Amino acid sequence: MLEGMISTAVVIIAGILGFLFRGYFGSYVSEKGKNLATKEDIAQITAQIENVKASIQTLAQLKTDYEQQRRHWLLSFYDSSIEMLYEKFSMNFGDLPFDNGHSLFEFQQSFRGIVTSMVKKYQRIVLYFEHEDSLRVNAEKVLTTVLEADSVFKKRFGQIKITLMEEANAFKSGDRQRIDETVAMSNDANKLYWDQMRPITENFHDALRQYLTVVNQFLRKDSDIDSQIS
């Protein structure tokens, strides 16, 4: 990956720098003995050294940017997972206002939006981490449960919308029998939804906890390296 390529390139450039010193000064001493190098010689050597230093600095910046991107996508994936856990998997649909279904529609759009976002962020993790890396493996476990939840959501949420809107209309009508019937229908729809969704949310919570553990290990490792360098 990029990290290995950068490290290799730095080693190669350092080797070239050493070769330039040995090659130049070796031949120089043999040809000119103890004579001092001319200003032109010094300028040429200085230019070569500066070029090598600039190349090393460029590679070092690339490595820094690469590591920052790795951290960014790991944490961004975690942030979306937390949003899913505490906003979508913890929703009580009965708390949504009777607003002709607008809040229900917004929740539906938001739920699907987070799923799509997590898929995209996981694909970035795939770019930055090897297939067998525990960070990628655990991110995949989190995403798998989200996709299972999305499947249930597509199948069951439509009925929740219908029954809740009918319940809202029943309350507006003031018809007691109609209210009781629609409340019962709404409760049945919610039960079907959560009977299928609840085990998935529990698996999601376990997968997210494992993901957080490996992310913490990764961040602490990088922090330890930075402190040693500084």
Q: Report residue 230's pLDDT band, with 50, 70 and 90 as the boundaries.
A: very low
Q: What is the reported pLDDT for 46?
A: 74
Q: Report residue 15's pLDDT band, with 50, 70 and 90 as the boundaries.
A: low
Q: Are 204 and 142 within 8 A, CB to CB? A: yes
- The 3-state DSSP composition of the chain as helix, strand, coil percent (nearest 5) reads 90, 0, 10
- Two tokens at 167? 């319940």
Least confident piece of the model among 73-82, 90-99, 135-144, 153-162: 90-99
- Two tokens at 51? 């070029």
Q: What is the reported pLDDT for 22?
A: 55
- Two tokens at 14? 């350092």
- Taking residue 142's Cβ as centre, other Cβ atoms within 10 Å add up to 26
Q: Which amino acid is located at 160 in the chain?
A: I
**Between 221 and 133, residue with greater pLDDT:** 133
Residue 49 predicted with pLDDT over 90: no
Per the prediction, the chain carries an average pLDDT of 83
Report the percentage of the chain scoring pLDDT > 90: 60
Q: What size, in residues, is the chain?
A: 230
**Between 29 and 72, residue with greater pLDDT:** 72
Q: Report residue 53's pLDDT band, with 50, 70 and 90 as the boundaries.
A: confident
Question: For 166-200, how does the pLDDT look when each residue is reduced to its tens digit (9 = 90+)?
Answer: 999 998 888 999 999 999 999 999 999 999 999 99
Alpha-carbon distance of 144 to 16, in angstroms, equals 48
Question: For 72-116, how does the pLDDT look when each residue is reduced to its tens digit (9 = 90+)?
Answer: 999 999 999 999 999 999 999 888 888 888 999 999 999 999 999
**Between 227 and 15, residue with greater pLDDT:** 15
Q: What is the reported pLDDT for 98?
A: 83
Handedness of CA 116, 119, 121, 124 (dihedral sign): negative
